[in-house]
Each structure stands twice: as C-alpha cells, then as structure tokens.
Structure 1
Amino acid sequence: MERLPVPPNLFDEHFADIHRYIARRLSEDVADDLAAEVFVIALHGGYDPSLGPARPWLYGIATNLVARHRRTEIRRWKAIARAAERDGASHEDEVLDRVTAARFTGPLAGALAGLKQRDRDVVLLVALGGLSHAEVATALGIPFGTVASRLSRARKQLRRALGEVNPLKEDSDG
C-alpha cells in the first residue's frame, strides 16, 4: 500500500503533545530534539490514513525514539531516587518543598526504573501521554489485551514499590 504525504497540519496539531510526552519522560532539552525528530521520521515515513488516526502513530514513533535513550532515562531516574534519599538535610527554605516532593518522586522514579522497558512504555504513554488503551496498542504495535496486562502488572509493581499507594488511577474518569 502506498503511503501518502503527511498532512500539513499534523505538526501544528500534535507537536506540543508529543513534545510534552517526551519532556516528561526525559527532559526539556532532549524533548526539543526528539520531538522534532518524530516529525522528520513521520515526514519521511509517510502517513497511511487507512491505519487510523495519526496521534497513536506519532506516539509510537516518539516511544521508539525514547527507547533509544533508555539507558540514559534509567540512569536519570536512579539518580533522582538517590538524590531524594540524600536531600533530607537541605537549606531550611527548601526543605519542605523537597521533602514533600521527595517522599513521592524519589520512590516513584526508582520504581519506574525497576519496570521492564515494555511495561514502563505502557505506563508512561497512559500517564504522561494521556493515551487510551487502544491508542497505546496502536502506538506500540501490540494487541489491546497486552496493553491491559502490561499496565496491570506495572501497577502492581509500582504499588508494591510505593507501599501500596495507587500511583495510577484504575479509572481514568475519576
């Protein structure tokens, strides 16, 4: 099947969301480059509207690019976890903010780093990208049921690591 050119408004419609997703997973600096690269790849790869909406396709490209930075991402989360453990004796004006953030951020970062890459990708596409299960399945090229099982397994692992706190709502409607 012949691929069609990328629709001209694709960049305008999706760049901010793709950038935000990557920035939440990695950093603003990396997101600048990788978000642009998503659209370069999209431009060269063409878009087949018969495969469905472009949004999951773009998130799939973004997730693949993030996977290339996996080791850096894991090292970053492990460093955040270690820093949170050390930050108990900061300056008084910063202590309350840091302690509050560290109580959750450090353990969560460590717990995310402990997930298998495939499970972490599903969690972060749902939590940071705001994708539905169906969109995650499309983005990663996996069956819908696999998304549900990976998300369930990851939630259990994250809850155990965070002392049975529910880091992701079971029901995204509230």
Structure 2
Amino acid sequence: MDPDEDLLARSAREPTAFEPLVARHSAALHGYLVRRAPAAADDLLSEVWLQAYAHRATFDAARGSARGWLFGVARNVLSRHRQTTARAAGRAEQPDADATTADPWQAVDQRLDAASVAPELRRRLAELPASERELLLLVAWDQLTPAEAAAAVGIPAGTARSRLHRARARLRDGLSGPARTTLTGDFA
C-alpha cells in the first residue's frame, strides 16, 4: 500500500493515484463533518474531495501528513459552509448544537455516563476558545494526532500541543462532581 503522501504527489501527474485517498479517508472525513454539520455532511464531503483534488499540488509533506492536510481542507470547507449559512440566515455563526452528540457505537454504559455529564461538558466545550475546542475535537473525535490536527488548522505542531494541553486542563478544571470523575481519565 502506497503512503498517502506518495499518492498525493503522484496524483499531480497520474490522476488515478488520487482514488485510494478517497477510499481510505472518506469515512473519517465524513464523521468529522457529520459531528459538526449533520444535515450538510454528504454535500460537504463531496466539496472536500473536489477541493482536495483541485489543490493537491499545494500539499507539502514537509508541513505534515496527508491526513492532516485533508482534515485542513475539510475544516476550510466547513468554515465556508458555516459562513454562507450564517450570512443566509442573517446572523452570526453559532457553535454547532450537535457538536457533542454521543458516538452511537459506544457501549450502553458509556452512553449513560456520557448522557449524565453531557450538559456540563457541552457548556464547558462551548466556553473554550474556538482554536482550543477545534484542536481538542480533532484529536478526541476524529482521532488525529496533535501534529495532524496542527496541520489541519494551520499552526505549528508545538503550538497545537500546548493549546491541546491548555484545553484539556480548562475542560478538566471546569468540570465538577460526577462529570469530573467520569471524564478525568479521558482528558488527563
């Protein structure tokens, strides 16, 4: 199996080399979009692949992995979608209400525990600065490494690690009682 970075480089002269990237990363990118814009996720995924293909020559392996670059493309597409939606609605962008929806594949016990702390966790996530919240969600939900998340948001890896540490600390410190007990292991 060819590494993603090689496929991206080859796709500039051999367009069919791009196809395995779509097969490998569509599910993860779709999950990212569903958690942030459920009603538009399918259309946004199509736009992500169109943009990634159109701009594949701009990928620079020295700046990070292909996976991180693809999530960066997805993040930009999502941002444009939110701006367009906000303009159309005549209001400022609001955080996605469904951003903290529990993963439907979790065990029943985990879902019950999460449901009990969800309101407090949702509130604490909303209070985080947008840059910290995005990094935390990319790592926690989308299972990107901190370096891949850094590439996705366009910042140095060291900056991402410190923001991620700060976000985890703020989230952990802001939770109380059962919420802190339930989530401390995940965010320690």
Letter in 1 for 2:184: N
Shift of 1:64: 2.2
Q: 1:17-51 deviations in whole A, cap 9, x for unaligned?
A: 10012212332x22212222111111221245652
Give the structure 1 partner of residue 164 of structure 2. 151
Aligned to 1:92: none
RMSD: 3.2
Structure 2 alignment gaps of length 5 or more:
1-8, 84-92, 102-110
User: What residue number does 1:114 align with?
Assistant: 127
Mark the CA change 1:119 to 1:67 in structure 2 (over 3 Å): closer, same or farther: farther
Q: Which runs of 4+ in 1 moved over 4 A?
A: 98-101
The equivalences for 1:94-113 within 5 A come to 100-113=113-126
CA contact (8 A) 1:63 1:121 kept: no
- Preserved contact between residue 77 and residue 113 of structure 1 (Cα < 8 Å): no
1:11 aligned residue: 22
Per-residue deviation at 1:133? Answer: 1.4
Amino acid at match of 2:56: G
Aligned residues: 152
The 2-side partners of 1:111 and 1:77 are apart by 14
| Residue 54, structure 1, aligned to residue 72, structure 2 | no
Q: Which residue of 2 aligns with 1:76?
A: 97
> Is the contact made by 2:150 and 2:160 (CA closer than 8 Å) also made in structure 1?
yes
Q: Which letter maps to 1:112?
A: L
Greater displacement, 137-146 / 122-131: 137-146
TM-score by length of 2: 0.67
When normalised by structure 1's length, the TM-score is 0.72
Aligned-pair distance for 1:141?
Answer: 1.9
Q: Percent identity?
A: 36
Q: What is the alpha-carbon distance in structure 2 between the residues aligned to residue 144 and residue 54 of structure 1?
A: 15
The unaligned stretches of length 5 or more in structure 1 are: 81-97
Q: Within 2, Cα distance between the matches of 1:134 and 1:56? A: 8
Equivalent residue number for residue 46 of structure 2: 36
Task: Specify the code of the residue in structure 2 equivalent to 1:64.
Answer: N
Match of 1:86 in 2: none
Distance 1:55 1:47, change over 3 A: farther
